């Protein structure tokens, strides 16, 4: 604290007046700076921390006309879906977990493959062009992506029109419950695989070229070099991204799913997020939905902490140090 105050006179005076006035003095010195930052800070507090406090309604019998302050506390009653085996909730939970696993196993590694592929290209200009095209879908909203997929794969879409014109059997992809998870996965890959390559490409460009040279001198062919140099160099980054992903893993594409729930029905498509939306905002079951949302967030945080521990066990840095 002391060195922050510039002149000796001010320092002495401030020391005499104690901690509070020292704080006030610093505030008045920096008031313009604080003022510049304050609007942003207020928004964060109002729309991020206030809702966090709002989670209190998970323990209340919340009624819209009463408001948060008036609502009576009901303990853990709202969490009853956890132990009374609410079938709709269980269904949503199972779907969420399946999608989480599918997306972690199938969607997550795609950018790595794509990045390796792009990186092994010779021409810098061609590489740039391909990247620009592959990044683009990331910037489209889910509404647009879903609409595009409908037009391509829907019953009257491009694919089926093509198949009919060539006398082949039609394939129904949109609106079939059994194929829904595959559809979601394909959409997720289409939208974000290209974007995900950015970070891997940057890391790839940093691998020491001398390592490759040394390996080649030792007689390692291209595949050996990929296996023994490239992939190990990316391991830390890969694990870091995986952990970060786990924290969000129970949020499996809310917008994507809510847009396509109509034709496939709830059984195949309901996940935790949509259950909270349908049950709370639409169904007016505020307390219970807030409780489910809270459980989801807590699991997400636990997953990150757990995965990070695991990363430490395997000698990686993870998101934060021990």
Partner 1 sequence: MTTLEAAEHEAEAKGTPQSTVKTRKRPVWMERPNPLVQVVKAIALFISVILVIIPFWSVLATSLADQKTINKSAGGMVMWTSSPSLNAYKAILSGGVVTRAMIISIGITVVGTLLSLATTAGLAYWLSRKSFGSKPMLLLLLGAVLFTPGLIPSYLVVKEFNLLDSWWSLILPVMVNAFNVIVMRAFFQELPQELFESAEIDGASSFTILTRIVLPLSKAVLAVIGLFYAVAYWNAFFNALLYIQTTDKWPMALVLRTFVVNQTTIGGDQVGMSEVMPPQLPLQMAILVVAIVPILIVYPFLQRHFAKGVMIGAVKG
Which residues inside 248-307 make contact with partner 1, applying CB under 8 A?
A: 254-255, 258-260, 262, 273, 276-277, 280-281, 286, 289-290, 293-294, 296-297, 301
Total binding residues toward partner 1, as defined by CB under 8 A: 116
Residue 34 or 90 with smaller CB distance to partner 1? 34
Task: Give dist(CA 92, CA 245) in Å, integer.
Answer: 20
Q: Give how far Cα 19 sits from Cα of 13, 15, 35, Å.
A: 11, 7, 22
Closest CA to 142 of 7, 286, 272, 260: 260
Residue 51 or 75 with smaller CB distance to partner 1? 51
Question: Among residues 10, 19, 49, 105, which is the contact residue for partner 1, using CB under 8 A?
Answer: 49
CB distance 72 to 61 below 8 Å: yes
Q: Which two tokens stand for residue 155?
A: 């019953």
Considering the rule CB under 8 A, would residue 114 count as an interface residue with partner 1? yes
Candidate ranges 10-18, 86-94, 115-123, 175-183; the one touching partner 1 (CB under 8 A): 115-123
Instruction: Provide, rounded to whole angstroms, the least separation between the CB of residue 101 and partner 1.
Output: 22
Residue 80 or 120 with smaller CB distance to partner 1? 120
Query: Which distant-in-sequence residues (6+ apart) come within 8 Å of 216 by Cβ?
Result: 225
Instruction: Provide, rounded to whole angstroms, the least separation between the CB of residue 249 and partner 1.
Output: 13
Considering the rule CB under 8 A, would residue 111 count as an interface residue with partner 1? no
Residue numbers 69-88 binding partner 1 by CB under 8 A? none
Instruction: Provide, rounded to whole angstroms, the least separation between the CB of residue 303 and partner 1.
Output: 13
Residue numbers 145-184 binding partner 1 by CB under 8 A? 146-152, 156-158, 160-161, 164-165
Instruction: Provide, rounded to whole angstroms, the least separation between the CB of residue 39 and partner 1.
Output: 5
Residue 7 or 209 with smaller CB distance to partner 1? 209
Considering the rule CB under 8 A, would residue 322 count as an interface residue with partner 1? no
Q: Which two tokens stand for residue 33?
A: 């700076």
Q: Three-class SS string for 55-108?
A: HHHHHECCCCCCCCCCCCECCCHHHHHHCCCCHHHHHHHHHHHHHHHHHHHHHC
List the alpha helices (DSSP H) in 205-320: 209-217, 222-225, 231-247, 254-264, 266-269, 272-276, 286-313
Instruction: Provide, rounded to whole angstroms, the least separation between the CB of residue 244 and partner 1.
Output: 9
SS3 at position 122? coil
Candidate ranges 10-18, 84-92, 99-107, 200-208; the one touching partner 1 (CB under 8 A): 200-208
Considering the rule CB under 8 A, would residue 46 count as an interface residue with partner 1? yes
Task: Give dist(CA 62, CA 51) in Å, integer.
Answer: 15
Residue 12 or 23 with smaller CB distance to partner 1? 23
SS3 at position 60? strand
Bridge partners of 73, per DSSP, are 60
């Amino acid at each position: 604290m002391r060195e922050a105050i510039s002149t000796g006179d001010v320092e002495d005076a401030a020391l005499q007046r104690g901690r509070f006035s020292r704080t006030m003095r610093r505030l008045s010195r920096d008031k313009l700076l604080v003022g510049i930052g304050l609007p942003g800070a207020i928004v964060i507090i109002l729309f991020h921390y206030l809702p966090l406090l709002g989670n209190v309604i998970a323990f209340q019998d919340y009624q819209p006309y009463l408001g948060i302050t008036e609502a009576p506390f009901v303990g853990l009653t709202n969490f009853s879906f956890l132990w009374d085996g609410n079938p709709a909730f269980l269904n949503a939970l199972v779907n969420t977990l399946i999608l989480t696993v599918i997306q972690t196993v199938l969607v997550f590694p795609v950018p790595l493959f794509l990045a390796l592929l792009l990186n092994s290209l010779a021409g810098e200009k061609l590489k740039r062009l391909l990247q620009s095209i592959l990044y683009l879908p990331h910037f489209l909203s889910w509404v647009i992506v879903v609409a595009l997929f409908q037009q391509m794969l829907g019953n009257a879409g491009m694919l089926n029109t093509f198949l009919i014109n060539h006398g082949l059997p039609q394939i129904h992809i949109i609106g079939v419950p059994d194929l829904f998870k595959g559809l979601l996965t394909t959409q997720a890959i289409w939208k974000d695989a290209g974007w995900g390559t950015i970070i891997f490409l940057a890391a790839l460009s940093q691998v020491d070229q001398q390592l490759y040279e040394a390996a080649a001198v030792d007689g390692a062919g291209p595949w050996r070099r990929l296996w023994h140099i490239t992939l190990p160099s990316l391991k830390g980054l890969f694990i870091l991204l995986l952990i970060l992903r786990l924290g969000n893993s129970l949020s499996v594409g809310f917008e994507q799913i809510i847009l396509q729930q109509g034709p496939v029905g709830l059984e195949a498509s309901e996940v935790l997020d949509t259950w909270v939306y349908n049950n709370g905002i639409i169904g007016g079951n505020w307390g219970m939905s807030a409780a489910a949302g809270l459980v989801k967030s807590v699991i997400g945080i636990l997953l990150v902490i757990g995965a990070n521990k695991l990363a430490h066990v395997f000698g990686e840095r993870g998101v934060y140090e021990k």
